[in-house]
């Protein structure tokens, strides 16, 4: 009898938001970067989850349709890329949605994405990973099956999926929704669990496909479940696949971005994504959408 080899799964997900997330209102990434992502995924027969803000879905229905027509999952990323949970790092914006407003705002975002896509989103990620118990409880009530907002790098805990508690979303509980934390580099900043340098998403661009592949291999081997299986959730942004500026001028301010927000954006990132997926496929790694992974998670409800 052959010994069972643990399955290794990567969930690829993309936050469909304005360019450089918190800092601009442009949408070149959604318009120009998404087709590049879709082509890279198609090269390897891989399906991914695209989490749209309601605004970007409304403004770019042709991109929503392009994602759907290639068989990818449409998820939600709030209505306007607003904060719907607790901050984990400093941000100059004060557009936080109050806890008692979260359900209504998420319901609006969900229905907006559904109206454009023709399918109801069941996977979610909070902008900046600013989530909360109020947020995951609202998502659970709205019928979501997967959330990928928990900032494990900030809390210094495992990034294995779990069902959260409605009182403390960092703890196991009885909510039906599955929390799938984006993985973090456990080797970086080990003495400071709140060190944002442990976050993953700039690494593919900053260090290339080979080094990002090595990081993912290490992280897949870092934690396994009772069956010896492991999973990591990778999250990226469409604006990373279009060349982004180093500075932005407005009437009132000049923004000078730190290198991790613009380095190797554009063609380098597109090639790195394609190469990374190929490397993982050759390693025998499986790819799954957030929705499909949650459906197959032990204890998932039938149907």
pLDDT score for 93: 64
Supply the CATH number for residue 153's domain.
3.20.20.370
Whether pLDDT at 191 is above 60: no
Question: Is 38 inside any structural domain?
Answer: yes
Q: Per-residue DSSP letters for 25-73?
A: ---HIIIIIHHHHHHHHHHHT---EEEE-HHHHHH-HHHHHHHHHTTPE
User: How far apart, in whole angstroms, are the C-alpha atoms of residue 198 and residue 183?
Assistant: 9
Residue 39 backbone dihedrals phi, psi, to 5 degrees: -65, -45
Residue 54 backbone dihedrals phi, psi, to 5 degrees: -60, -40
Per residue in 156-175, pLDDT tens?
A: 788 899 999 999 999 999 99
pLDDT score for 302: 43
**Residue 226 CB neighbour total at 10 angstroms:** 6
Whether pLDDT at 197 is above 90: no
| For range 260-286, the mean pLDDT | 97
Whether pLDDT at 5 is above 90: no
Question: Is 44 inside any structural domain?
Answer: yes
User: How far apart, in whole angstroms, are the C-alpha atoms of residue 20 and residue 125?
Assistant: 16
Whole-angstrom CA distances from 53 to 16, 157, 178, 230 are: 6, 28, 20, 29
Question: Is 103 inside any structural domain?
Answer: yes
Share of the chain above pLDDT 70, in %: 93
Q: How many domains does the chain have?
A: 1
User: How far apart, in whole angstroms, are the C-alpha atoms of residue 249 and residue 247?
Assistant: 7
pLDDT score for 303: 38
Question: Is 175 inside any structural domain?
Answer: yes
Residue 227 backbone dihedrals phi, psi, to 5 degrees: -90, 0
CB 215 within 8 A of CB 200: yes
pLDDT score for 300: 57
* pTM for the predicted model, two decimal places: 0.94
Helix (H) or strand (E) holding 12: strand 8-16
Question: Is 301 inside any structural domain?
Answer: no
User: How far apart, in whole angstroms, are the C-alpha atoms of residue 172 and residue 165?
Assistant: 5
Token pair, residue 242, equals 């279009």
Token pair, residue 198, equals 């442990």
Question: Is 254 inside any structural domain?
Answer: no
Pairing of strands 123-124, 254-256: unpaired
Q: Which domain holds residue 41?
A: 10-204+231-238+287-296
Whole-angstrom CA distances from 207 to 33, 75, 243 are: 20, 28, 16
Whether pLDDT at 38 is above 70: yes
Question: Is 252 inside any structural domain?
Answer: no
Tokens 């080899």 sit on residue: 5
Per residue in 214-242, pLDDT tens?
A: 999 999 988 888 788 999 999 999 999 99
Question: Is 269 inside any structural domain?
Answer: no
| For range 187-210, the mean pLDDT | 76
| Residue 104 three-state SS | helix
Whether pLDDT at 118 is above 90: yes
């Amino acid at each position: 009898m052959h010994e069972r080899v643990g399955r290794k799964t990567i969930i690829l997900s993309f936050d469909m938001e304005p360019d450089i997330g918190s800092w601009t209102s442009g949408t070149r990434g959604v318009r120009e970067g998404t087709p590049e992502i879709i082509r890279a995924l198609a090269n390897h027969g891989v399906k991914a989850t695209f989490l749209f803000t309601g605004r970007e879905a409304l403004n770019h229905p042709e991109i929503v349709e392009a994602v759907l027509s290639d068989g990818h999952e449409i998820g939600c990323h709030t209505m306007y890329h607003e904060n719907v949970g607790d901050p984990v790092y400093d941000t100059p914006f004060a557009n936080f949605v109050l806890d008692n407003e979260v359900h209504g705002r998420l319901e609006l975002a969900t229905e907006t994405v559904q109206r454009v896509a023709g399918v109801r989103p069941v996977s979610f990620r909070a902008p900046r990973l600013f989530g909360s118990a109020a947020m995951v409880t609202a998502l659970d009530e709205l019928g979501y099956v997967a959330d990928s907002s928990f900032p494990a790098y900030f809390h210094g805990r495992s990034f294995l999926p779990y069902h959260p508690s409605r009182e403390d979303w960092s703890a196991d509980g009885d909510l039906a929704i599955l929390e799938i934390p984006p993985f973090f580099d456990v080797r970086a900043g080990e003495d400071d669990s709140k060190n944002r340098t442990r976050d993953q998403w700039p690494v593919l661009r900053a260090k290339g496909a080979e080094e990002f592949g090595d990081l993912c291999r290490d992280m897949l081997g870092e934690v396994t479940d009772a069956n010896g299986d492991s999973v990591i959730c990778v999250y990226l942004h469409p604006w990373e696949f279009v060349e982004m500026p180093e500075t932005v001028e407005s009437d009132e301010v000049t923004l000078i971005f730190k290198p991790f927000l613009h380095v190797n954006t554009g063609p380098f990132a597109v090639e790195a994504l394609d190469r990374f997926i190929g490397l993982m496929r050759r390693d025998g790694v499986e790819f799954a959408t957030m929705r499909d992974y949650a459906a197959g998670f032990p204890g998932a409800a039938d149907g």
